[in-house]
Amino acid sequence: MKTMTFEIFIEKVRSYNPDAVEMVTKAYKFAEAMHQGQKRQSGEDYIIHPLWVAYILAELHADCDTLCAALLHDVIEDVKIPKEEIAKMFNNTIADLVDGVTKIEKLNFFGYDKSDLYYASTRKLIMGISQDVRIIIIKLADRLHNMRTLEFKKAIKQKEIALETMKIFAPLANYIGAYRIKEELEDLSLMYLDNEEYKKYEDMRMNLESESRPILEEMVYNIRNILNANDIPNEIKIRLKNIYGIYKKISKGATIKDIHDLLMLKIMNETVKECYVSLGLIHSIYHPNNRIKDYICNPKINKYQSLHSTIIAPGGRFVQAQIRTYEMDEVASFGLTTYWHIHKGEARNIMQQDLKKYQFFDSLVEIDEMFGNNKEFVEHVEKELFTDQVHVYTPKGTIILLPKGATSIDFAYKIHTQVGNRMNGVMVNDEMVSKDYILQNDDVVKIITSDNSEGPNEEWLNAAVTSLARKRIKETIRKKASYGV
């Protein structure tokens, strides 16, 4: 890994936020003095760690308070500087951020050991998102740097931390739309959890890259020509799926040829209109295989927007074209953190408000309210939010996200308790299915309700997967029993 110095870091900050340089320098000097003499397991000076964390955040164009908090994130825990002193020297926001990160810091020391303390701090970490999402973003940058330097830990510790990263941190990064961090966390976790498999897929990806590069470059050249000829400003990049993404698909039985988003071309335009025109022009030179998704009209739940079309490359291989505006591309790479860039001063409030529009946020609050016990809370979040999800649509085109294995009953209760209780039949993609039908990606689900519905019973309870549906069903059954219906 390349080295990090204060000069490299501060130049990065100056490039997008020169007003922050003075305060950030002060935070660095203070942290450096406080960590004086302290070493990391790698033998480096300790200050290198907070410096890297702050640099990762500067790459995301984080605001001044976040950068300062990143530099100071270990001073309460490690050098016992009271929160009040940070507030006095800097400001209350920075003190709150450092304190927030410190409270969940203990996770690092307990690993995946199933103690009460582990569950309590994991809950704090997850719910921290509802207080100030910047705490989570600092924590993600902290974890990313720890994962990049995991080679200096003992083997058993490496596996514990990698497992926790895979189960908690990568899904969190995905939920806030920080795809770049998510992909790097996944790949690093796999490297420590199953090194043989990691090496195998790393080789596979490298071979694929060198083998398909000439074809991809030819496609970039042709697409650029046709867009330029039609006066559409554009920038095109070649991308490959991450190692973990390939591993996951293939270990589930797919072959390299089946993966339609293994090779990707990212085409960026200035306006939405140009994106649609680009799609048409690309189809005029490369045949689509009719796997087209319009995430511009129907954004993903983490705000991702893009047009996707799988096109057939010379030689017959699938290539996924992803067409979006430059602004959509920033959201695609950095998710919520993009708000730092787009909304400068007001970023924090907008970020926090926007978070409430994310579907997973409602589910998180529901699960938090439902389970007093920390262990149950963490287990349900893992089971319902952090596992693979299916996305289905209402007849009006709203995307609904549910855990894999969820049924029509879960869908109905997710829409509304009364839709669930009055459910009389289900249509999926215009065909009648049974109530315990297991939802598949892209299904369009229509719940038929009736006042004559018999309402929920034990069978429904067995077919429901989500805690929300199960809770509502139990409540309704209990009410029915007490009214003697």
Closest CB to Mn ion among residues 63, 142: 142
142 binds Mn ion (CB under 5 A): yes
Q: What is the DSSP string of 419-438?
A: HHHTEEEEEETTEEE-TTPB
φ, ψ of residue 391 to 5 degrees: the values are -115, 130
- Least Å distance between CB 73 and Mn ion? 6
Contact range with Mn ion by CB under 5 A, out of 140-148, 400-408, 451-459, 461-469: 140-148
Closest CB to Mn ion among residues 96, 142: 142
Closest CB to Mn ion among residues 142, 443: 142
Contact range with Mn ion by CB under 5 A, out of 3-11, 135-143, 423-431, 434-442: 135-143
Give residues 218-257 in contact with Mn ion (rule: CB under 5 A): none
Closest CB to Mn ion among residues 35, 470: 35
CA 342 to CA 256: how far, in whole Å?
38
In the sheet where 445-449 sits, what is the strand order?
Answer: 431-433, 423-428, 445-449
Is the separation of the CB atoms in 20 and 64 below 8 Å? yes
- Least Å distance between CB 102 and Mn ion? 10
Q: What is the DSSP string of 124-148?
A: HHHHHHHH-HHHHHHHHHHHHHHHH
* Paired sense of beta strands 318-325 and 263-269, if any: parallel
Tokens of 122: 């994991």
The residues, ordered by sequence, that sit 6+ positions from 268 with a Cβ below 8 Å of its Cβ are 234, 235, 236, 237, 323, 324, 325, 326, 329
- Least Å distance between CB 105 and Mn ion? 7
- Least Å distance between CB 28 and Mn ion? 15
Contact range with Mn ion by CB under 5 A, out of 138-146, 261-269, 278-286, 395-403: 138-146
Closest CB to Mn ion among residues 40, 283: 40
Closest CB to Mn ion among residues 142, 330: 142
- Least Å distance between CB 77 and Mn ion? 8
136 binds Mn ion (CB under 5 A): no
Tokens of 222: 């042709």
| Beta bridge pairs of residue 432 | 427
For Mn ion, the nearest residue by Cβ is 142
* Paired sense of beta strands 263-269 and 423-428, if any: unpaired
- Least Å distance between CB 143 and Mn ion? 8
- Least Å distance between CB 244 and Mn ion? 23
The residues, ordered by sequence, that sit 6+ positions from 343 with a Cβ below 8 Å of its Cβ are 350
Rounded to 10 degrees, the C-alpha dihedral 54/56/61/64 comes to -10
Closest CB to Mn ion among residues 146, 305: 146
CB 9: neighbour CB atoms within 10 A? 20
Closest CB to Mn ion among residues 142, 384: 142
Is the separation of the CB atoms in 256 and 262 below 8 Å? yes
Tokens of 64: 């001044």
CA 414 to CA 154: how far, in whole Å?
44
The 3-class secondary structure across 245-281, one letter per residue, is: HHHHHHHCCCCHHHCCCCEEEEEEECCHHHHHHHHHH
* Paired sense of beta strands 307-312 and 288-294, if any: antiparallel
Active site members: 77-78
- Least Å distance between CB 90 and Mn ion? 18
How many positions of this chain bind Mn ion (CB under 5 A)? 1
Contact range with Mn ion by CB under 5 A, out of 134-142, 307-315, 341-349, 398-406: 134-142
Closest CB to Mn ion among residues 31, 409: 31
- Least Å distance between CB 35 and Mn ion? 11
User: x-or-dash pattern for Mn ion, window 186-225, by CB under 5 A?
Assistant: ----------------------------------------
User: Could you tell me which of 375, 277, 291, 283 has the C-alpha nearest to residue 325?
Assistant: 277
CB 195: neighbour CB atoms within 10 A? 10
Give buried/exposed letters for 287-314 (b at 16+ CB in 10 A, else e): eeeeeebbbbeeeebbbebbbbbbbebe
Contact range with Mn ion by CB under 5 A, out of 78-86, 136-144, 356-364, 438-446: 136-144
The residues, ordered by sequence, that sit 6+ positions from 17 with a Cβ below 8 Å of its Cβ are 61, 63, 64
184 binds Mn ion (CB under 5 A): no
End-to-end CA distance of the chain: 68
75 binds Mn ion (CB under 5 A): no
Contact set with Mn ion (CB under 5 A): 142
